[in-house]
């Protein structure tokens, strides 16, 4: 169902199935799913939200599990709408939250800017990359961040610097109740051909080692200090383990794939089983990299 407004210019969908918007292809309905026309429209939407409305942001849905009972609040989708990429100086690029990370890598490389090639291995948008300090192939998002623009529940925009955040491995902590709208990236001048070749090699490496042909959400767990989550999961004999239509990938043990019939419940149960097994066998508590939101679907609500 699509609702229209005399003031809002974006698209508001009610009870929108999140299986359409997550890379695992599962998830119940979002009470409100909003795609803003631009930053100004987003600010207007935020100002109109009921006080206390739960808000969550989604880009490509590549690091997100929405439970089968859905999300009783507003899911704001930036993918495909907040996708401005602009060159502000010889070595500074401004990107909005909805720009796909691989696009940032390619466009910067074509321009002869280096330092963002690792973003080609992150299957999400810049908003998500900023929120979790996403990384790949030895690079991390906040290593190249010069400044960010955030928005709060009241629609107020603020410019902030990296020094205002606590930044670590797959971890970003900053002012409460603010979300990332855009970022300025500080890169370096370099050779375009070499940068594009590096991206090509990184993508080939990713395709060879990850189950890119099956619905997944990337790495499920963070790597513990001095070790790898995939090694621990494989050493626990969990490769190929399934619950319903969700399976630990045979190609990469830190990936859970939807074989076609998985529910969000299957995936969450498998995540919990993997974590419990690794803890029991290795006395290491794996930390989730994937975000889980929404309500559990109770037996009486299942079809």
Is 57 part of any domain?
yes
The verdict on 47 and 66 lying in the same domain is yes
47 assigned to some structural domain: yes
* Annotated catalytic residue 219: yes
Q: Is residue 174 very low, low, confident or very high in pLDDT (cuts 50, 70, 90)?
A: very high
Catalytic-role residue among 94, 265, 268, 289: 289
- Asked if 285 is an active-site residue, the reply is no
The predicted model scores a pTM of: 0.89
Its domain, for residue 47, covers: 2-77
The H or E element that residue 47 is part of is: helix 39-48
User: Which pLDDT band, with edges at 50, 70 and 90, does 303 fall under?
Assistant: low
CATH number of the CATH domain containing 157: 3.30.465.10
Mean pLDDT of the chain: 93
- Give the SS3 label for residue 203: helix
Tell me how far CA of residue 218 lies from CA of 22, 48, 121, 206, in angstroms: 12, 34, 10, 11
- Per the domain annotation, does 130 fall within a domain? yes
Catalytic position from the list 79, 94, 170, 182: 170
The mean pLDDT value for 219-240 works out to: 96
Terminal-to-terminal C-alpha distance of the chain: 21
Based on the domain organization, do 197 and 236 belong to the same domain?
no
Q: What is the CATH number of the domain that holds 263?
A: 3.90.78.10
In this structure, is residue 294 part of a structural domain?
A: no
Q: Considering 23, 219, 236, 249, which one is annotated as catalytic?
A: 219
In a domain, 91, yes or no: yes
Do 73 and 177 sit in the same domain of this protein? no
User: Using CA atoms, how far apart are residues 246 and 22, in angstroms rounded to an integer?
Assistant: 15
CA distance 222 to 170: 7
CATH of the domain at 65: 3.30.43.10
Q: Are residues 89 and 195 in the same domain?
A: yes
| pLDDT for the residue 4 | 41
Any domain includes 104 = yes
Residue 283 lies in a domain: yes
3-state secondary structure at position 73:
strand
Sequence-distant contacts of 281-284: CB under 8 A, at least 24 apart? 281/235, 281/236, 282/232, 282/235, 282/236, 284/224, 284/227, 284/232
Is residue 299 a part of any domain in this protein? no
Please give, one letter per residue, the 3-state secondary structure of 120-170. HHCCCEHHHHHHHCCEECCEEHHHHEEEEEEEECCCCEEEECHHHCEEECC
């Amino acid at each position: 169902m699509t609702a229209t407004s005399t003031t809002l210019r974006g698209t508001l969908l009610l009870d929108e199935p999140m299986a359409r918007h997550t890379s695992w292809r599962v998830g119940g309905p979002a009470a409100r799913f909003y795609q803003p026309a631009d930053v100004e429209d987003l600010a207007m939407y935020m100002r109109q939200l009921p006080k206390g409305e739960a808000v969550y942001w989604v880009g490509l849905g590549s690091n997100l599990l929405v439970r089968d009972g859905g999300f009783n609040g507003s899911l704001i989708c930036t993918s495909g709408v907040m996708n401005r990429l602009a060159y502000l100086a010889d070595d500074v690029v401004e990107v909005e939250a909805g720009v796909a990370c691989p696009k940032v890598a390619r466009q910067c490389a074509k321009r002869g800017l280096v330092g963002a090639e690792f973003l080609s291995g992150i299957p999400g948008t810049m908003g998500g990359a900023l929120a979790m300090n996403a990384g790949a192939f030895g690079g991390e998002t906040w290593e190249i961040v010069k400044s960010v623009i955030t928005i709060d529940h009241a629609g107020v925009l603020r410019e902030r610097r990296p020094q205002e955040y606590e930044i670590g491995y797959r971890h970003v902590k900053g002012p409460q109740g603010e979300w990332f709208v855009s970022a300025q990236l500080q890169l370096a001048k370099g050779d375009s051909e070499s940068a594009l070749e590096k991206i090509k090699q990184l993508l080939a490496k990713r395709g060879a080692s990850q189950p890119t042909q099956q619905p997944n959400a990337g790495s499920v767990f963070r790597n513990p200090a001095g070790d790898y989550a995939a090694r621990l999961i494989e050493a626990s004999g969990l490769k190929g383990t399934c619950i319903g239509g969700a399976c630990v990938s045979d190609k990469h043990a830190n990936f859970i794939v939807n074989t076609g019939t998985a529910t969000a419940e299957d995936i969450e149960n498998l995540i919990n089983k993997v974590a419990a097994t690794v803890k029991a066998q290795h006395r290491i508590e794996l930390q989730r990299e994937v975000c889980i939101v929404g309500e559990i679907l109770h037996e009486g609500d299942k079809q």
